[in-house]
Chain A
């Protein structure tokens, strides 16, 4: 039985630490970090992603590729909470010499599987990792977290075609469907709807959920794991809210890539206690 109380606490801690990191760095991406906090917490603290902070390359581990590399504060915070490194270290985020690069860097941070940042790479990388698992008859699951705006990169659709072609049912991807990208609403910038239909048409299993409802995330991941015996890759379209958890950041384009000032941080932390 999933300990939802713990998952909720960890999600909250991911949010708090992410905002502190971006504040300390005075740059970074708060909005898209807050929108994936519940998904990351469910994977790492809800028992869905096998990981081993004592041996980040543990051969039995599952793999997470966070393709939206700009939401690095959320992943770094999650890995810190999971014990891969002292979470206090993340306060050096984006500073010269820090291992916590602006965009996710696997060479510097234990627990990071693939460096990302340039959008449209992670799903292809995940296809390769999933193919390797199939070749090795390895039972691991491969999780990918995509942003919605990222799907405007055509390479994702190349990757989506290939995942279906190779019947990669060990690949479970999320779209963080927060509907906002840097310049504004996705549907005004370059529309993605009907998004579930697009992936269905590409021969994926599609599960649509509220990406902030921990029970729904848990059920989707349990269902996705069961679908692993099938022949289709699995796409979980997680309807989310950019800036989730901080009232004045929610659904605000302005908080895509802007750091909170001192007062903003103080106000945000009051809501995230």
Chain B
């Protein structure tokens, strides 16, 4: 966009409960106010994805494409070709899943500046059940050449990330959630694409997390401290390009790494970190990917589902303790 756009105070405080999709809706509406080239497409879910706020403020630049995600992404590509900055939103199952080949060929292969901002990702979509709980989207988006993949941890980070990707020229996939999750950053935090953030310093075990699992990693670190184990918590909001240096640094420090994500253990953050450790790290690191163990989800409360599928704070504590005894 040429110049740094000034963000507003979001009003969210540490510990507040807010969904990353709420932050998306807020940031998007503001970007629409500030830049006439920002356009938004949705697939009949604007009330859910929160693009409704942009739609209300800028009806001429909002396109409801109906329940037709392939065409939504293909149309976004055409708008980007003519210099617009399209944000295309639906549930992640459809924006990333149904429309994958349009993201790959219409957007990425055409080098077009489309932001695919997908909400309701992961298990925490909750009661809708397995058909809607995409646990594969990070995997299928990050394998597309030139794609940037971002998974914000909370509303503050999501808000800042949406500003950041609007400034960035290139295709982006942003993974956003339905559920309200605790705010872990304060307003002084500054998100940067490709930069990890250390939330808790520690020397015994590294918890590298993204999305809703960042809060759980912080809670686990508190529990571990009571046992005398000092966990380092790293927020890895950008899955691609990955902050390799941050991974090497913390792994060198602790020698123990646990990755945490609301995603299949295959193809997500864990695999990305494992690749860095295997290729670029010389010493032996004790390593565990914690995520969904290649299973479909089911209906239920989102947070209860995380517990059910092995991502409870107690599960993280148990794994970290096991590693520290090893």
Does A associate with B in a complex?
yes
Q: Give the CA-CA distance A135 to B109 in the complex, in Å.
A: 25
Shortest Cβ distance from residue A77 to the other chain B in the assembled complex, whole angstroms = 22
Does more than half of chain B's interface fall in helix, strand or loop, or is it mixed? helix
Minimal beta-carbon separation of A56 from chain B (angstroms): 13
B272 at the binding interface (Cβ < 8 Å): no
Cβ contacts under 8 Å, B82 to chain A: 128-129, 132-133, 136
7 A-B pairs with the lowest CB-CB distances in the bound complex, closest first: A128-B78, A124-B74, A132-B82, A158-B71, A158-B68, A128-B75, A128-B79
B145 contacts the other chain (CB 8 A): no
Asked if A166 is at the interface (CB within 8 A of a chain B CB), the reply is yes
Residue B101 at the chain A interface, CB threshold 8 Å: yes
**Interface stretch of the complex, out of B19-27, B59-67, B153-161, B205-213:** B59-67
Task: Determine whether the beta carbon of A135 is less than 8 Å from that of B105.
Answer: no
Q: How large is the interface on B (under 10, 10 to 19, 20 to 34, 35 or more residues)?
A: 20 to 34
Complex Cα gap A159–B77 (Å): 13
Chain A 123-138 near chain B by CB (<8 Å), digits 1 or 0: 1111111111101100
CA distance A188 to B203 in the complex (A): 68
Chain A neighbourhood of B70, CB < 8 A: 120, 124, 154-155, 158
| B 29-48 to A, binary, CB cutoff 8 A, 1 in contact else 0 | 00000000001000000000
| Interface contact B75-A125, CB-CB below 8 Å | yes
Whole-angstrom CA separation of A114 from B111 in the bound complex: 10
The reply to whether A155 and B109 contact each other, CB–CB distance below 8 Å, is no
A161 at the interface (CB under 8 A from B): yes
CB neighbours of A165 from chain B (8 A): 66
Are A127's CB and B61's CB within 8 A?
no
* Contact of B191 with A by CB under 8 A: no
Q: Which residues of B contact A65 (CB under 8 A)?
A: 78
CB distance from B95 to the nearest CB of A (A): 14
* B110 lies within 8 A of chain A by Cβ: yes
- Asked whether, in the complex, the Cβ of A162 is within 8 Å of the Cβ of B84, the reply is no
Q: Which residues of B contact A132 (CB under 8 A)?
A: 78-79, 81-84
Whether B28 sits at the interface, judged by CB under 8 Å, is no
Whether B63 and A155, one on each chain, are in contact in the complex, defined by CB atoms closer than 8 angstroms, is no
Q: With A and B bound together, what is the CA distance between A129 and B110 in angstroms?
A: 14
Supposing A121-B105, A125-B74 touch, asked if A131 and B68 sit within 8 A by C-beta, the answer is no
Within 8 Å CB of A115, what residues of B?
105, 109-110
Contact A159 B71 (CB under 8 A): yes
* A118 close to B74 (CB less than 8 A): no
Residue among B75, B80, B81 making CB contact with A113, cutoff 8 Å: B81
Identify the closest chain B residue to A140 (Cβ). Answer: B82
7 chain-A/chain-B pairs, Cβ below 8 angstroms:
A107-B111, A121-B74, A128-B81, A131-B78, A159-B75, A162-B65, A166-B63
Kindly state the separation between the CA atoms of A161 and B74 in the bound complex, as whole angstroms.
14
A50 within 8 A of B: no
**A117, CB-defined interface residue at 8 Å:** yes
B163 at the interface (CB under 8 A from A): no
Asked whether A135 lies within 8 Å of B106 as measured between CB atoms, the reply is: no
Chain B residue, CB-CB nearest to A132: B82
Contact A117 B78 (CB under 8 A): no
Residues 71 to 128 of chain B near chain A (Cβ within 8 Å): 71, 73-84, 86, 101-102, 105-106, 109-111
Q: Report which of A113, A121, A130 forms a contact with B102, defined as CB distance below 8 A.
A: A121
Residues of A within 8 A of B84 (CB): 132, 135
Assess whether A131 is in contact with B77, with CB atoms less than 8 Å apart.
no
Interface presence of A106 (CB below 8 A): yes
Instruction: Give the complex CA separation of A106 and B112 in angstroms.
Output: 11
Cα distance A59–B111 in the bound complex, in angstroms: 19
Nearest A-chain residue to B74, judged by Cβ: A124
Specify which chain A residues have a CB less than 8 angstroms from the CB of B79 in the assembled complex: 128-129, 131-132
Distance in angstroms from A206 CB to nearest chain B CB is 20
Q: A155-B70, A158-B71, A161-B66 are in contact. Are A118 and B78 (CB under 8 A)?
A: no
Please state if B81 and A129 are interface contacts (CB–CB under 8 Å): yes
A135→B36 CA distance, assembly (Å): 10
Residues of the A chain whose Cβ atoms lie less than 8 Å from the Cβ of B83: 132
Instruction: Find out whether the CB atom of B105 lies under 8 angstroms from the CB atom of A124.
Output: no
- CB proximity of A104 to chain B, nearest CB, Å: 11
1/0 contact trace for A85-112 toward B, CB 8 Å? 0000000000000000000001100000
Contacts of B61 in A (CB 8 A): 135
Using CB atoms, name the residue of chain A closest to B80: A128
Once the chains are docked, how many angstroms separate the CA of A107 from the CA of B80? Answer: 15
B63 and A131 within 8 A (CB): yes
Residue among B71, B109, B110 with the most chain A CB within 10 A? B71
- Centre residue among B74, B78, B101 by max chain A CB count within 10 A: B78
The answer to whether B68 and A130 have CB atoms under 8 Å apart is: no
Q: In the complex, how many angstroms separate the beta carbon of A125 from the nearest chain B beta carbon?
A: 4
Contact A125 B106 (CB under 8 A): yes
* CB-CB nearest in chain A for B73: A124
Q: Complex Cα distance A124/B99, Å?
A: 12
CA distance A42 to B83 in the complex (A): 28
Beyond A120-B70, A124-B73, 8 additional contacts (C-beta under 8 Å) are: A107-B110, A118-B101, A123-B74, A124-B78, A126-B78, A132-B82, A161-B71, A162-B71
**In contact, A118 and B75 (Cβ under 8 angstroms):** no
Q: Measured between alpha carbons, how far is A6 from B75 in the docked complex, in Å?
A: 35
| Interchain CB contact under 8 A, B60 and A128 | no
Q: Are B101 and A128 in contact (CB under 8 A)?
A: no
Known: A118-B101, A131-B63, A135-B60. A125 touches B68 (CB 8 A): no
Task: Give the complex CA separation of A155 and B86 in angstroms.
Answer: 19
Are the C-beta atoms of B75 and A114 separated by less than 8 Å? no
